[in-house]
Each structure stands twice: as structure tokens, then as C-alpha cells.
Amino acid sequence: MRACARSPATEVAKQAILILIDGLTPSMFEATDAPTLRFLLESGDYRRAVSTFPSLTPVCLASVATGGHGDVHGIPHLVWWNRDEQRLVEYGSSFAALIAAGLGRGIRDTIVNLNERHLLRSAETMYEALEDAGLTTAAINITTYRGRTRHSSLVPGLPPVHGPKHFFFYSVYESDRTGAPVAWRNRAGGSIDAYAGQVGRWLVTRDAFDLLVFYLPDYDYASHALGPNAAHDALVRADAAIAALVEAAGGRDEFLERYAVVLCSDHGQSRIERVVKLRSDGMLVTASNRAAMVYGDDRRALAASFDEEPSVDVAMFLEDDALVARRGGDEDLALLDGFPDGRARAEAALRNPNAGEVLVSAARGWEFADLAGRSHLGGGSHGSLSAEDSEVPMLTIGFDAPPASITELKALFLRHFGVAVARAA
């Protein structure tokens, strides 16, 4: 039955690894002299590609997993208003913001509900598509992981979730005993990426997967603090985690002999010089990093309330089902043409059923304080339509060509394994 679901090409497809370094900018990757990253860059095909909007990790990783923008997957922002449940959802803009939203519920939303409830059922993840075709998928630490296998939590009180067959999530869910130490023991020191390296080594040594999604979040964490293109130490630690996979395969040649590889990030980052707590009179604003959403009825009036607001670059809404972009009182879709894939990304974000009626992209250098008033002033942030926030490095080794968008990764892997691309790709 499994053989029928896959074309003959599947039999010769190499196993594949997606290495995703959160927040890595193209310029930082292109200039790196970290040895494993440099080796990979010189071994493959490279381009700059585009993220989704808002260019924020939960939205981006949902796009990677489902092959669509927010209109397909339903994850609208780091913080949003859940109309069905009449409450805020906060995925951890900052720890203080999680507390402001209610710590227990915030953790549950971030770890469990994002996948089990918020990610639209109509969107199929690449884990679901590949496992339905008889392939084995594995994922380490990626926050959008929905799959077919039920995993119990190692932490009392957290419910089971459904992930890839081999699933490792910050020492909270672990499908296999690998001997890796607890992921959270020293975040600033890179313990999460080190955990990924140890688990990845275990998986490679056992030849345990067809596709491994190897997610390294510590770079983004450091880059938020230090600013874009400055987190060199964190990149060296990411390099070490990737080197653990290479060593486990028996060396560089053996690694590329055995695996087709994609290396990319989910979004970029830009420097933050000013912060504002964005408000719109009497309306609910959900803001974090460099994007905001406003919930209310009179869309044009909501957008117009930001005409004089220097932190707002563009406000967007749908009117009679058509996209409108507004800046300083002017309405012109050409305002979006200064951004990579601007019109398509803005429209897809607005067509997300969980999005606010108005979406806001921050002006250069500005950040919107989160629920708890926290920001990354003096450091780096992302979320806007701008090229700095939206462009990502995209490297492929063993594929035809690197895709132009993170939304094309799912289809790339399905094609690689000879699995029909059913929907949302």
C-alpha cells in the first residue's frame, strides 16, 4: 500500500534535512566563516528568498510546514484575538508578555494549542503529507510540528500532542530516549541548539528518518539582544550543532552523499531605535515586534487613525474584498511595491481568518512594544513587510534549485520524495 502511494522516483530519493536557523539574515550567512556553514554554502545553490507577513516566527514556521501564507494556515501573529473563544492568544513575544496573557494559558497556547487547535485543519503539514505516503519524518524543536503520531509530555499537566514520528521539543516532548541533556539549562549560552545537535546526532547515527527538520532558535534570541548581523557567537554555536550531524554521518562527503539539504531562515531582522505602544482609540490592537493588528468594524477609520503615527509605515485592510494600502492618508496599492512580494503577502495575511481587520507594518527603526511593554530597543527585531525583516538566505544541496519563498519548501520536499502535492502548496 505504501509503495502505491509513491512514485518510483521515491526509491532513489536521498533522505533530506531542513536546517532552519531562526532570524538568520542573508548578509550574515553570506559572509560567515563558520566552517560547516561555509562548507555547505560552497557546496550548493544559493539565493535570497522571501518570508511571509507578518514576518514573525510562528507565522513563518506555519508557512514552512503547510506551504502557504496565513490565509492557508491560520496563524496570524505572535499575539492575536481569538474570536471563537473571545480571548487573547500570546505565543511568547517576551516572557513578561506571556505572564501578562496568563502564564499557564500562554505556555499551553504556544506549545500545544498552536498545533492542536489554531493551525487550520484544512492546511496539511509536510509531516502529515510525507507520513501519509509512508515516509518517516523527524523534527527537533520546531514550533509548528503537527503530524500523525501522538506523543505524551514529559512535563506533568501538559496534554499529548500530535507530531512527526520522531519528535523532540525542548525536553517537553521526546519520542525517543537519546541521552541529550535538558534543553533549557542555559538558553543564553546556546543550550537549545546544543540539545538539537545531540538529538540530531542520535537520529543520524540510527538512520532514523527520511526528512529531518532541524530547527535552531538560539541565533534569533541572540540577534534580538545584539542587533542584526552581530550575533557571531550564536552563529558559531549553530554551526557546531550542524557539525554534529555531519560528524554523525561520517564526515562532509558522506553527509552530502547521504542527504539532500536545505538551509534557510524563517525571517530576517532589522535594527530597533525607537519603540511605541501602538494604540487606536477604543479598539483592540495586538502588537509585537514590527507588526500589529487592529480589530474593529470601520476598517478605513481604523487605518486612518494611524495617518499621523510615525511608527506606522503602511496600514492595510480589505474593502469589498479588495486590498487597500494606506500611508499618511494616501491610499495606493503601489505603496506595497517597495516590499518583496508586498501585495501578495499583505493580501494573504489579511485573508487569514484570525487576522485583525487592519494590519500594520512598522516603519524603519521602529518596534511596537508587546503586551507587557517589552521591546528590543537597541537590538534587533522583525515582523514588517520590509526587505530587512522579510528576506532570508535559501541554500539547497541536492535539489533542482532553491525556492524563492519559504512557502515553497513543503512542495520542494514532496516533489523530492515523489509525493503528490495535494493542496496548499
Question: 174 vs 220, which CB is nearer to Zn ion?
Answer: 220
Count of residues of this chain found to bind Zn ion when the rule CB under 5 A is applied: 1
Question: 143 vs 198, which CB is nearer to Zn ion?
Answer: 143
Using CB positions, name the residue nearest to Zn ion. 220
- Distance of alpha carbon 372 from alpha carbon 381, whole angstroms: 16
Question: 171 vs 223, which CB is nearer to Zn ion?
Answer: 223
Minimum CB distance to Zn ion, residue 215 (Å): 13
- Distance of alpha carbon 145 from alpha carbon 339, whole angstroms: 29
- Distance of alpha carbon 145 from alpha carbon 213, whole angstroms: 9
Residues 84-113 that bind Zn ion (CB under 5 A): none
Minimum CB distance to Zn ion, residue 180 (Å): 24
Tell the residue number behind the cell numbers 531605535, with chain if given: 273
Taking CB under 5 A as the binding criterion, the range among 4-12, 91-99, 213-221, 309-317 that sits at the site for Zn ion is 213-221
Which residue in the set 109, 124, 128, 220 belongs to the binding site for Zn ion (CB under 5 A)?
A: 220
Minimum CB distance to Zn ion, residue 107 (Å): 18
Minimum CB distance to Zn ion, residue 382 (Å): 6
Is 347 a residue that touches Zn ion (CB under 5 A)?
A: no
Q: What is the DSSP letter of 9?
A: G
Q: Provide the 3-class DSSP secondary structure of residue 180.
A: coil
Taking CB under 5 A as the binding criterion, the range among 130-138, 157-165, 212-220, 324-332 that sits at the site for Zn ion is 212-220
Minimum CB distance to Zn ion, residue 22 (Å): 6
Question: 57 vs 280, which CB is nearer to Zn ion?
Answer: 57
- Distance of alpha carbon 147 from alpha carbon 168, whole angstroms: 13
Minimum CB distance to Zn ion, residue 282 (Å): 30
Minimum CB distance to Zn ion, residue 265 (Å): 10
Residues 366-405 that bind Zn ion (CB under 5 A): none
Q: What is the CA radius of gyration of the chain?
A: 20
Q: How many CB atoms lie within 10 A of CB 58?
A: 26
The residues near 131 (Cβ < 8 Å, ≥ 6 apart) are: 137, 147, 148, 149, 164, 165
362 vs 76, 272, 316, 323, CA distance in Å?
A: 16, 11, 12, 18
The residues near 359 (Cβ < 8 Å, ≥ 6 apart) are: 53, 54, 291, 292, 293, 294, 315, 316, 317, 346, 349, 350
Question: 220 vs 391, which CB is nearer to Zn ion?
Answer: 220
Question: 25 vs 311, which CB is nearer to Zn ion?
Answer: 25
Cis-peptide into 353, omega within 30 deg: no
Minimum CB distance to Zn ion, residue 316 (Å): 22
- Distance of alpha carbon 261 from alpha carbon 253, whole angstroms: 13
Residues lying near Zn ion in the complex (CB under 5 A): 220
